Amino acid sequence: MAGLNLEQLRTSPWYAKLPRTVATVMEPFRGARLLLAAYSGKDLLVIASGPSGLALSGSAESTQAAEAQRKMAATGAPELLADAESIAAGKQIWVVVRGDAALPLSGNAANVNRLLRNMEFAAITVRLDSTIEFAIVARGRTGDAARHFEETLRAALTMAAAADAKQAEMAALLRSIQVRREDRVVRAAVSAGGDAAEKLLAWLTP
């Protein structure tokens, strides 16, 4: 699941600096306040919320599933919805993925699916205020799974910093990302302002 708080993004001081790709995604939803996308591994459902209510876009199967999900939420939200609700609060951009999800990735990016296999979920959030705050949180099925995720994440950040070594400010920003593990939960976060924030924004949304 992924969400965009379009209303808050439009009033963010960083809105004018968003990459063109992000602006292109937002353009068809000019009248919407919130945008939610759900991917089952087969079908994609997009829900836009605005002054006139909800608008759904997707296959007949996905829209029927959305109605079933709404009924389930009335008696108790599924675990992923509960995780998404707590993680998304106060964030303009967020993504939550189940560990057993099969993301449509290829090449080296396909390693993400193998990394997530032993996690209950993983999430990425971005908050755009006076600064830009980027965070990752993931919960392992076991303590060993969480430790492996932490070690892999640290290695990936080290490699990314080395790859950006010619851009000293960006490399320093990547090295400043704080990674910590508490039992089965791994968290990583970084905050930046000014020119460093612009570079971080460009790095997050190429």
Determine the Cα–Cα distance for residues 67 and 64; give it in Å rounded to an integer.
5
pLDDT in tens, the chain (206 residues): 888 999 998 888 888 887 777 778 788 888 899 998 888 777 778 888 888 777 767 655 555 555 545 443 433 345 666 777 778 888 998 989 888 877 777 776 677 888 888 999 999 899 988 888 999 999 999 999 999 999 999 998 888 888 776 778 778 888 889 999 999 999 999 998 878 887 777 776 65
Alpha helices in the chain (DSSP H): 6-11, 20-26, 60-75, 79-88, 111-116, 143-163, 168-175, 194-204
Cα torsion 13, 18, 24, 26: sign: negative
- Using alpha carbons only, give the angle 123, 134, 111 rounded to the nearest 5 degrees: 45
The predicted structure's pLDDT at residue 140: 96
Determine the Cα–Cα distance for residues 115 and 101; give it in Å rounded to an integer.
11
The predicted structure's pLDDT at residue 138: 94
The structure's pTM equals: 0.78
Structure tokens at 29: 């939803």
The predicted structure's pLDDT at residue 33: 92
